[in-house]
Structure 1
Amino acid sequence: MKNIVLTGFMGSGKTTIGRLVAEKLNIDLVDTDSEIIKEFGLTIDQIFEIHGEKKFRECEKRVIERVSKLENVVISTGGGVVLDPENVKLLRKNGVIYFLYASPENILKRLKDDNTRPLLKNGDKLSTIIRLMNIRMPFYKNCDFEINTDILSPDLVAEKIISIHMAKESKR
């Protein structure tokens, strides 16, 4: 089975939904941000603060190179992974890419008490979310399937991904 790759903006539900999909299919979940945290021994916030975004993205690329070679897993990616076309190319080689979308307002609601997001540390959070989403949207749209997480529960999103994926796999 091809990997199920989840992309989308922070707070779109990638980790929660990834966990549900992996659980329901009885396969492993690989969270690229968790892999980066393991590699540095620091939180994402600390990595950005100490080493900067450039070092974070370099490590992210190494993690993508490694996890994209795995088989039959769910891969939950960081929100900015799609900014590097090489990352997308690697993930697509052995995976089907699902873009999880949520509105800026819902992203803000989901992240209102989360102070661990380095890109949302300064200024008005909603404005920052909108600005970043506008920049990233063309990259997110380079996916195989798009699912709006505003209107479905995480469980229903997981079921939808599984349904799409199994139908696609049966045609291979």
Structure 2
Amino acid sequence: MNSIVLTGFMGTGKSAVGKVLAEKLSFKIIDTDAMIEEKAGTSISEIFRTKGEAVFREYEEKVIEEIAGSRNSVVITGGGAVIKEKNIENLRKCGKIVCLKATPEEIYNRVKYETHRPLLQVENPIDRIKELLNAREEFYKKADFSIDTTGLKIEEVADKVIETLNLKSSA
């Protein structure tokens, strides 16, 4: 069976929903950020801090190329993975791309206590979230489906993904 690719901005629920989806569908999880950390031998925030975003994006592109065509998996991407057309093409080789969305305020409330978010280490994080969402909107629109996670529980979002893709849950 084809895989499900979850993309979307940080804090929209990709990791949490991905875990529930994998369990419900008996799929394995492929987390591109975890793969990048393994390859780099360090955390993503450390890559950003010491080498910059461009180097991180190179790692990301290589990892996505490696997993292209994966089956029976929930692929969880970083929030900016889809800003490169090549990444979108390779992710489509896995299966349908589902973009998880949420309001800037909801995103902020979900991630405000997380210190490992390099893109939000700024004076006004909500403005930064809005700015990044605007910049990425055209790329997020390339997803096959979008689901707004604002105000929803993880389980509800997972069920919406399954329903949207007409899949059968094993759990």
Q: TM-score, normalised by structure 2?
A: 0.94
Note the C-alpha offset of 1:151.
3.3
Name the residue aligned to 2:107. 107
Note the C-alpha offset of 1:27.
1.1
Identity %: 44
Gaps of 5+ in 1: none
For 1:29 and 1:164, locate their aligned partners in 2 and report how far apart those are by CA, in whole Å: 19
Residue 62 in structure 1 maps to residue 53 in structure 2? no
Name the residue aligned to 1:27. 27
Name the residue aligned to 2:5. 5
Q: Could you say what secondary structure the match of 1:70 adopts? A: coil
Alignment of 1:87-102 (within 5 A): 87-102=87-102
Note the C-alpha offset of 1:167.
5.0
Q: Could you say what secondary structure the match of 1:15 adopts? A: helix
Instruction: Say how many residue pairs are matched.
Output: 168
Q: Could you say what secondary structure the match of 1:166 adopts? A: coil
159-168 vs 36-45, greater mean Cα deviation: 159-168
Note the C-alpha offset of 1:165.
2.2
Name the residue aligned to 1:71. 71
Name the residue aligned to 1:125. 125
Q: TM-score, normalised by structure 1?
A: 0.94
75-84 vs 152-161, greater mean Cα deviation: 152-161
Deviations 1:90-128 (A, max 9, x none): 111231000100000000000110111111112210110
For 1:113 and 1:167, locate their aligned partners in 2 and report how far apart those are by CA, in whole Å: 35
For 2:117 and 2:152, locate their aligned partners in 1 and report how far apart those are by CA, in whole Å: 24
> 1 or 2, which has the higher helix percentage?
1
| Contact 2:5-2:94 within 8 A present in 1 as well | no
For 2:158 and 2:167, locate their aligned partners in 1 and report how far apart those are by CA, in whole Å: 14
For 1:64 and 1:122, locate their aligned partners in 2 and report how far apart those are by CA, in whole Å: 29
Deviations 1:18-49 (A, max 9, x none): 00000111110111100101111111110111
Q: Could you say what secondary structure the match of 1:75 adopts? A: strand
Cα RMSD of the aligned pairs, angstroms, is: 1.3
Deviations 1:54-91 (A, max 9, x none): 11000000000011231111000000001001100111
